[in-house]
Structure formats: C-alpha cells, structure tokens
Amino acid sequence: MSMHPDCERIMLTEEQLKNRVRQVALEVDKEYENKKPLVLGILKGSIIFYADFIRFLSMPVELDFMAVSSYGSGAVSSGKLNIKKDLDRNVAGRDVIIVEDIIDSGFTLANLKTLLYERGALSVKIVTLLNKAERREYDVAPDWNCFDIENEFVIGYGLDYNEQYRHLPYIGILKRSVYEK
Ligand code: IMP
Ligand code: MG
C-alpha cells in the first residue's frame, strides 16, 4: 500500500479496520434483536466507517444523517451544537445508534445525545471508530469503540484535515509540518 506523502505513518491498515469494524458490528447486531434502530451517521467524518459498518448488520435498520459543528470551533466550550443538516426522520420512540468517526473532547456527542433524548428518543447509543480518551472534557462515553488512540491528529477513512484526505483507505498520522506551516 502506498502512503500519502503528508502521512507520518500508517496507524491502522485497511485490513485492521475491516476486521475490527466487522467485530464491533456483530456485537451491535446482537444487542438490537427484534428491534429496528435508526442508524444515525454524523457527516462527513463517519461516511466510510458508516458504509462499512452497516454492511455487517443483519438486523433491519433505517439510515439517517446529521451534520453538526460546534460554534466558535471549540475555543469556548460553553457553546451549543450548530445543526447544519438535521435528520429526515422523527426520533420519538426510536432506538438510535449514533455512528461517529472520533470522540475527542466529547462536546459533539454529549450535546447530540441530550438533544435526541429531548426529542423523545427511546434509547441513544454511540458507536465510534476512534476514541481519544485522554482528551475528554465532556461526560460522554462510547457504547462501542473500535480503537483507542493516542492524542495524535489522524486522517483518512473519512477523517479530514481542512477537508482533505478523507478518501485515504487507511488511518494515518498527519505530519506536523502540514499543519504547522
Ligand atoms: P469533539 O466534539 O471534541 O469530541 O470532536 C469530535 C470531532 O472533532 C470529530 O467528529 C472530528 O470531526 C474532529 N476531530 C477530532 N480529532 C480529530 C483527528 O485526529 N482527525 C480528524 N478530525 C478530528
Ligand atoms: Mg471533522
């Protein structure tokens, strides 16, 4: 596999990603027997993970998406969630599975979970590809997590830096020289 020149090194290969995503999807599948959850992808970072994840599910699911951002790009942590694209479906009475690329401070998911419960969701669980536990500032934990990672900026498999690198099929560590120049 050829590595993008802006990558310091590959952290997770396509093979490692596929195997772990499959394993986690099978665990989630078991938990929702006889239910039809709404699988909520958070745009855009989760798209590749989401597409791989749902193809390992055998339960009936409905798909939906939201695009969110935090006001002030995290400089002030007292802000509210900015909804750039809302759900198409009504979540009242539904079991919701949020699919996210990475939990960093936890701001996004802590707020989103609260919002979905306010809208009457029956249950809200979180599946995340990556977890930077060391960075947590808000009280939220994934119900399923594929990989715990160190505090490094990663790209690929949906994750970006300035909207670039999302299409890389692996997770790589971005070279410091790219964001320090
Ligand atoms: P949180 O609200 O602080 O938990 O931030 C989560 C969001 O920050 C993710 O959905 C990503 O969009 C972004 N993010 C955090 N760390 C990284 C990273 O290492 N690479 C790319 N995006 C990241
Ligand atoms: Mg992002």
- What is the pTM for the complete model shown? 0.94
Catalytic residue among 6, 29, 104, 148: 104
**CA-based nearest residue to 154, from 136, 127, 178, 137:** 178
In b/e form, how buried is each residue of 77-95, taking b as 16+ CB within 10 angstroms? Answer: eeeebeeeeeeeeebeebb
pLDDT at 181: 76
How many residues are present in the chain? 181
85: helix, coil or strand?
strand
Atom number in ligand 1 closest to CA 103: 4
pLDDT at 1: 63
Tell me which of 65, 102, 113 to substitute to probe ligand 1's pocket, judged by most ligand atoms within 8 Å of the beta carbon: 102
Q: What is the pLDDT of residues 106-163, one digit of tens each?
A: 999 999 999 999 999 999 999 999 999 999 999 999 999 999 999 999 999 999 999 9
What is the residue whose two structure tokens read 């970006």? 160
Average pLDDT over residues 21-30: 98
Q: In the predicted model, is pLDDT for residue 74 greater than 70? A: no
Q: How confident is the model at residue 28 (pLDDT cuts 50, 70, 90)?
A: very high
Whole-number Å distance, alpha carbon 45 to ligand 2 midpoint, is 6
Catalytic residue at 104? yes
Pocket of ligand 1 (CB under 6 A): 45, 100-108, 153-154, 159
HSE-CB at 14 with a 13 A cutoff on CA atoms is 6
Q: In what order do the strands lie in the sheet with 171-174?
A: 7-12, 171-174, 154-155
pLDDT at 79: 59
Strands 154-155 and 171-174 come out as: antiparallel
